[in-house]
Structure 1
């Protein structure tokens, strides 16, 4: 059911994903971030905000903080999975992998590369942590305001 809290959570987490992704793109090696990298992350942020963060806005400001960090972990996980699978598929068209299991292993190696790049960009981690907290509080505010 659409609510104002879900909409505000979705928009807020999409904005957080935008700012964090722009921080990460600065540190990525050439060719690792395609032209749709930011757009895909914002879309994932919107979906995670709607499905995960928005449903827990009725817990109050303090009670919803863990769910904000849960939404953040979902955002990071699904963004890494999406981009890793996308890169694995583009590599598989170049016949880099000999089989399905090697392609799956390649997906996890690419995910590890993205995780290392993200750790090397501490500004993105700070942006994600503070942004998810603010997105959580914005969704709680919207829930209280338009209930």
Structure 2
């Protein structure tokens, strides 16, 4: 994980905020009757890690590199958010004996990831996610330059 830098701290905070806000945009897109629980808060924790590890650690390479780091972090946020949320959902369904065996449960994670990705493919969600990630990348790059 490396040493503490202001760029990593700013990246963690910004991507936690982005993850929380985008989660709020996604909640109404879920099927009626679905209870997302602590969906936004869980994704904010994922955003903390992604912002620190992916975006913050890539700071210092220039403005275009900052945008690239922000967009890379957005893709990482989507991947880890889908994987961890769907794994949690699979475990919840497994406890209700919805799967016949462990292999079916593992396959179920990827089916859930695909279903949730299709739910996420909303113009507003994508514009906010990738637009704010690019801006966050610039802010992280600016922070990296000023904190030296």
Q: TM-score band, normalised by the shorter chain?
A: over 0.9
Cα-Cα RMSD? 1.1
Counterpart of 1:43? 45
Distance 1:33 1:43, change over 3 A: farther
Conservation of the 8 A alpha-carbon contact between 2:27 and 2:36: no
Q: 2:54 aligns with which of 29, 35, 52?
A: 52
Which structure 2 segments of 5+ residues have no match?
none
Counterpart of 1:140? 141
Conservation of the 8 A alpha-carbon contact between 2:66 and 2:140: no
Output the CA distance in 2 between the equivalents of 1:63 and 1:34.
35
Residue 31 (structure 1) shift: 5.1
Conservation of the 8 A alpha-carbon contact between 1:8 and 1:139: yes
1:58 partner SS: coil
Conservation of the 8 A alpha-carbon contact between 1:12 and 1:138: no
Question: After TM superposition, where is structure 1 displaced by more than 3 Å over at least 4 residues in a row?
Answer: 30-33
Query: Which sits farther off after the overlay, 23-32 or 51-60?
Result: 23-32
Output the CA distance in 2 between the equivalents of 1:90 and 1:27.
21
- Deviations along 1:53-86, one digit per CA (max 9) or x if unpaired, are 0011101111222222111111000000011001
Which structure 1 segments of 5+ residues have no match?
none
- Deviations along 1:41-63, one digit per CA (max 9) or x if unpaired, are 11101100001100111011112
Q: How many residues end up aligned between the 2 structures?
A: 146
* TM-score for both structures, normalised by structure 2: 0.94
